[in-house]
Amino acid sequence: MNRDALEVIRTRRVVRAMTDEPVPRDQVERILDAAAHAPSAGNRRLQRFVAVDDAATLRVLRMVSPGMLQRPAAAVVICVDVARAAGYGFRETSSGLSIDVGTAAQTMLLAAHALGLGSGPVTSFSRAAVGVVLNLPAGWRPELIVCLGHAAAAQPPPVAPNRRYSWRDLTSWGRLADDDVDDRA
């Protein structure tokens, strides 16, 4: 499927309910390939991906991930290689590491949508439990899970009101006046 990038961005939605239809391995690989091209601080590639499509492992991941409302057919756990990051001088709390996770995640979400799949990010999970479930190496810290699957026909309502914001609603040009800052707070 070849879709205009801006159209993919405009139409992507978080999918919170998925069918039990499997996701072909080649589609997961295409999503991972896209993520490998996401921006990365200094092109250091300090994030690591763990792809899961085994139903039993996915069930256990759901047990330790209260934020995983969907029942995905596949998932990608985005980890930060903290030991490697330290070798480059990054502190564990460096915002650059989180930004790399975010750009990889958003790239995966867009790639999944472009392929006709549903996806959704999950940040509510036990890092320690996910590390044990996936037998992660020391120094790999799980940061975000991208759930992948086929969207169910019925979706739960969004948590926040379903209002679409335009760029105009979210943008100020140039330096803000003091009264503009008070209005935006």
Residue 100 burial class via C-beta count within 10 angstroms: exposed 0-12, middle 13-18, buried 19 and up: buried
Separation between Cα atoms, residue 25 and residue 39, nearest integer Å: 24
Which tops the pLDDT comparison, 160 or 171? Answer: 171
Q: What is the pLDDT of residue 36?
A: 95
Q: What tens digit of pLDDT does each residue of 47-70 get?
A: 999 999 999 999 999 999 999 999
Whole-structure pTM value: 0.88
Does pLDDT of 29 surpass 80? yes
Mean pLDDT (whole number) for 3-18: 86
The domain ranges of the chain are 5-184
Q: For 80-103, what is each residue's pLDDT tens digit?
A: 999 888 887 888 777 778 899 999
Average pLDDT score over residue span 153-163: 80
Q: Provide the pLDDT for residue 134.
A: 98
Rounded mean pLDDT, 169-173: 85
Distance CA 91, CA 82 (A): 8
- Measured in degrees and rounded to the nearest 5, phi and psi for residue 151 equal -60, 135
Answer whether 145's CB lies under 8 Å from 157's CB: no
Summarize pLDDT for 103-156 with one digit per residue, the tens. Answer: 999 999 999 999 999 999 999 999 999 999 999 999 999 999 999 999 999 988
Q: Residue 183: pLDDT band by 50, 70, 90 thresholds?
A: low
Q: Of residues 160 and 81, which shows the higher confidence score?
A: 81
Assign 3 a pLDDT band (cuts: 50, 70, 90).
low
- Greater model confidence, 185 or 86: 86
Which DSSP helix (H) or strand (E) runs through 165?
none
Q: Which CATH class is domain 5-184?
A: alpha beta
Question: What pLDDT score was predicted for residue 184?
Answer: 53
